[in-house]
Amino acid sequence: MSHLMLWRLLPACWPRERKGSRTLTTIPETDYTSAYTTELELEVAHLTEENAKLKKQQQLLCSAAAAQPPKKQTLHRSSTAPF
């Protein structure tokens, strides 16, 4: 998980400090941690949805397979059998 993904989740109004000629954004540890937690919660929600969808799909496939009659095997004479 990259830090760039976490930057999008942090609030836009961070306190800013000036150091020399460049502006430096300070991110409190709580903001970073809450952004990480939020991202993990979003991923868990997505995976939960996907898991439910896949379970439903598996149940449909199992019920369709159970509805089909089993294939009967036919006997085949081997090429080395005597006539």
Distance CA 53, CA 60 (A): 11
**Residue 10: per-residue pLDDT:** 58
Structure-block tokens of residue 43: 């991923």
Does residue 45 form part of some domain?
yes
Q: How far apart are CA 37 and CA 57, in angstroms?
A: 30
* Per-residue pLDDT reduced to its tens digit, 18-76: 555 555 566 678 888 889 999 999 999 999 999 999 999 999 999 888 877 777 888 77
Q: Is residue 34 part of a domain?
A: yes
- 47: in domain: yes
**Close Cβ partners of 9 (under 8 Å, ≥ 6 residues apart):** 35, 38, 39
On whether residue 12 sits in a domain, the answer given is no
| Per-residue pLDDT at 37 | 94
User: Is this structure's pTM higher than 0.75?
Assistant: no
Q: What's the domain range around 52? A: 24-63
Task: Count up the domains in the chain and report the number.
Answer: 1
